[in-house]
Structure 1
Amino acid sequence: MTPTLRTCLILSLALFSCAGGARAQFVAAAALQPKQLAIVINDDEPNSVAVGAYYRKRRNIPAANVVHVRIPGKPRQISPERFAELKEEIDGKLGKDVQAVLMIWTAPYAVRCNSITAAYTLGYDAAQCENTCGAGRPSPYFNSTSPRPYTDLDMRLSMLLPTESVEQAKALIDRGVASGFKLRPATAYYLTTSEKARNSRATFFPPEGRFDSRKLATRRLQADALEGVNDVMIYQTGVAQVDKLDTIRFLPGALADHLTSLGGDLLGEGQMSILRWLQAGATASYGTVTEPCNYWQKFPNPAVLLKHYVQGNTAIEAYWKSVAWPTQGVFVGEPLAAPYRRR
């Protein structure tokens, strides 16, 4: 057992040792605020412009935090050289208090074998492209307690807000906003499936239990798909194609992802794109843009994700904190969703 694996097992046990309801104790997190988030709009894409205007209004993003760029043609992948120019353009317009960036477009979502969110936040990693199945570069933000990643760690978190449909994008934004108004009874579901190679993170699935102060239950299932439930706050599984999504209901702020090779190839046709989670009603997701092999470190760690989300972190913070090696993974959704933020 590696030291990192041992640490995470200890973390998982410590987090859920009192998962019995009222006894569970949480440290309230200082979640990301709208004034700390910048939005980047692609003026060459009308949908990006429309969704950006809507997001700014709904989340009250300061005018100084709105950056306009031009990326013609909606390429799925851009070169490291073009990306370096884009990053320099964005960073040059941001104040020192901006801790995170939301790119309002679906594509580009990759920089060669890197995701665009990882390349932006951690810097482009050319070495990963020499062997995409090799170990990834560790993220200093993994399981971090820092409320200011740029100030403390010199890394601005980043996420994509997909814009293939303006209507769906607005609905996604509305779900994120709605997540902060009312604490709803909810369940976090963890599925161990028949696709054994994709169950590499099942070790970290929290045990079944209940957190009464958060009105949240955890359930572990042996199944290939969740069906007929209406209280989903977290759904994590390992399959190439998630079925029966039309039979379940995601609550505002829900997080959902599946461990598979190319879920982050957003517009690809080989495996289920993580955009399908958002279309089904989830508020944020994560997937890899190139073949990562099934290292659990390249996907959201279930125990770490749940820990930080129930402590009140936003979706972008909790998701970024949960991935140890995020170079190939793209984060998508509404970043400020925070159903467990202190009210």
Structure 2
Amino acid sequence: MMVADPGSATRPSRDHAMPPARLLSRLVLLCAAGAISVPAAAALKPEQLAIVVNDADPSSVAVAAYYRSRRGIPAANVVHVNIPGKPRRIGAARFRLLKEEIDSQLGPGVQAVLMVWTAPYAVDCNAITGAYTLGYDGSLCSKTCAAGQPSPYFNSRSARPFTDHGLRLSMLLPTESVQGAKDLVDRGIAAGFRTVPAGAYYLATSDSARNTRAGFFPRPGRVPERRLTVTVLRADVLDGARDVLVYQTGMAQVAGLDTLRFVPGALADHLTSLGGDLLGNSQMSSLRWLEAGATASYGTVSEPCNHWQKFPNPTVLLRHYLAGNSVIEAYWKSVAWPTQGLFIGEPLAAPYRGR
């Protein structure tokens, strides 16, 4: 991971506006105070989600059918496309046609889209989820460490992103293993049944370049109404925790995942350059989190430098998740500049959904 110019993470570039300064100041104050509660929110519903199936990929077809059945996705919300060859990256022109094909089949009530495949996961230097929701940004490809396009959904209270902001949230449900994908779906569904004792773990590691989120870690302590304990550690490895709901760290490779137990609905991600390069091998793929038992994760597909704005903000993510938002809502609300970021997992998981 390249280290950003010390001023670049807070200085707007000529072409990209920063989130409002008052909002950033408020986030810092929230982190310092450990404030993580927001008014209760209703999570995204199955009828507001569309699923996109790659008919050229048998695994996509099988997993999409399972997901639709388990989540009760309406038949009208199933979109069929054809992407032969499972390319890891596609170009801007091909993506434009794909997006037009998907959008043409969606009704106005659809607020989010789930792409059911592992690849493609990138559009040139953009993540496919970032490009789909915010629009493809080719300017980043000449300087991937530049500031990203700000998301109007960052830290939003909106429950209808398409209606309110003109954005359809997007997430990828990986299908490298059909059984693994089905297990992931089952974990997401299990998250909605009852509140279980859980822990949120935040690690400030010895890798200083990847610790730019540490200033946004929530205050350690108990959140009694959610049966949650927040733990902040100065350590490279979380070892032996059996109640993991949230795990956020900064490392190129995360050790000890086989010693952990993730509760249904768990969120886990690591700040590094290429976690979103799902099938690459230069750094740990975000797929490893799902394989270890997490329900959702996030990673960038091209060198982002260590701008915290390009990664999930710990306090924002936890606040919205505990308030009852679904995985896809809470994760998207937590990233200020998400164009290079790939959101993966089961989008409707909502352990604290309002009832």
CA contact (8 A) 1:186 1:217 kept: yes
Equivalent-residue separation in structure 2 for 1:341 and 1:285 (angstroms):
19
**Alpha-carbon spacing, 1:210–1:12, altered in 2? closer, same or farther (3 Å):** farther
| Correspondence 1:71-150 to 2 at 5 A | 71-150=83-162
> Residue deviations 1:185-224, cap 9 Å, x none?
0010000000000001100001101111111111100000
Matches within 5 A, 1:139-288: 139-288=151-300
Q: 1:302 to 1:181 in 2, by over 3 A?
A: same
- Per the TM alignment, residue 9 of structure 1 is displaced from its structure 2 partner at its CA by 4.7
Q: Distance in 1 between matches of 2:28 and 2:220?
A: 13
Structure 2 counterpart of 1:340? 352
Give, in whole Å, the separation in 2 of the partners of 1:7 and 1:302. 15
CA contact (8 A) 1:208 1:217 kept: yes
Deviation at 1:99, TM superposition (A): 0.2
TM-score normalised over the length of structure 2: 0.93
- Match of 1:315? 327
Q: Does the Cα contact within 8 Å between 2:28 and 2:215 map onto a contact in 1?
A: no
On the 8 A contact 1:12/1:206 being kept in 2, the answer is no
Q: State the Cα deviation string for residues 24-73 of structure 1 (Å, max 9, x = none).
A: 85411021100000000000000000000000001000000000100000
3-state secondary structure, aligned to 1:129: helix
Amino acid at match of 1:249: R
RMSD between aligned residues: 1.5
- Matched residues in 1 for 2:299 and 2:232: separation? 21
| Runs of 4+ that moved beyond 4 A | 1-6
Structure 2 residue identity aligned to 1:240 = A
Q: 1:50 aligns with which of 62, 65, 68?
A: 62
- Tell me if structure 1 keeps the 8 A contact 2:89–2:123: yes
| Aligned twin of 1:11 | 27
Contact 1:105–1:160 under 8 Å retained in 2: yes
TM-superposed CA distance for 1:11, in Å, is 2.9
TM-score between both structures, scaled by the size of structure 1: 0.96
Identity, % of aligned pairs? 68
Unmatched tracts of structure 2, length 5 or more = 1-9, 12-18
Which sections of structure 1, spanning at least 5 residues, go unmatched?
none
Shift, 1:342, TM fit: 1.6
Q: Distance in 2 between matches of 1:7 and 1:152?
A: 19
* C-alpha separation in 2, matches of 1:219 and 1:6: 28
Structure 1: how far apart are the matches of 2:317 and 2:161? 17
Residue pair 1:9, 1:204 contacting (<8 A) in 2 also: no
Cα distance in 2 between the residues matched to 1:25 and 1:115: 30
Q: Distance in 2 between matches of 1:155 and 1:4?
A: 19
SS in 2 for 1:138: coil
**In 2, Cα distance between equivalents of 1:5 and 1:299:** 18
